[in-house]
Amino acid sequence: MSVTIAQLQKWKQQKKPIAALTATDYAIAKLLDKAGVDMILVGDSLAMVSLGHKNTLPVTLDDMIHHAQAVGRGVENALLIVDLPFLSYQVSTEQAMQSAGRIFKETNAKGIKLEGGYPDMVETIRKLVQAGMPVMGHVGLTPQSVHRLGYRVQGVTPESAEEILDQAKALVEAGIFSLLLENIPAELAAKITDLIPIPTIGIGAGKECNGQILVTHDVLGLSDWQPPFARKYADLQSTITNAVKDYCQDVRQKSDR
């Protein structure tokens, strides 16, 4: 049975944790879906893990749609969410509407995710929701603001923690269906989770969120750099490298294997 946004809301009330991961291609998406992941995010982190960029900024809307189309072909049950990339929604509400509309028209996405909770962004999200587009919010460390925020923990001072809390409240009021909390203190994430009526999904935000998400390449040991909060459940870099070495050796030795 396909996971729905309404189910996520129910799971929060039932205190059922939500398992989420990222995907950027058909093969991985199909495996994640088969394994029982509740939510799959086509995140703009594909800029690094699939396209080789240093951060998320270079990825385009066309890139996101291309990868989301591939992922969507592999997903039958998980809730599919797609990131709006940098400068595809910040210029104006009209631009955001057009970008989001393309994702919903050209992929199997059931929702989109936007970064930030400042007043202009809140109003943009309100308009998207009013137009019938489910939106997931994202506060704390917002990677599209890397040149301003860096990759450090956010919300560590009372003032910055209060700002993130206010953003969360404003986004809920604007109509988001879920809120991603990235790289903030666990105490702040727990406070937000208790306060708001929609599910929170954490990444580097402690265990008290309603769900957790990681970049699948980190989980499978495919990344060159491992975030300190990301547990590596496999070491596929070594597995794949050794398998390919064995294959190359067999070919060069004209082995019968």
CA distances from 152 to 1, 48, 89, 179, 212 (A): 38, 18, 24, 19, 19
29 CB-contact burial (10 Å; exposed 0-12 / middle 13-18 / buried 19+)? buried
Q: Which two tokens stand for residue 244?
A: 């390919």
CA Rg value for the chain: 19
Cβ-Cβ contacts under 8 Å for 246 (sequence gap 6 or more): none
Phi, psi of 187 (to 5 degrees): -65, -40
E strand spans, the chain: 18-22, 39-42, 79-83, 111-113, 135-140, 178-182, 200-203, 211-214
Among residues 76, 182, 187, 208, the one annotated as catalytic is: 182
**8 A C-beta contact, residue 60 and residue 50:** no
Q: Confirm whether 163 is a catalytic residue.
A: no
144 CB-contact burial (10 Å; exposed 0-12 / middle 13-18 / buried 19+)? buried
Q: Which residues are catalytic?
A: 182
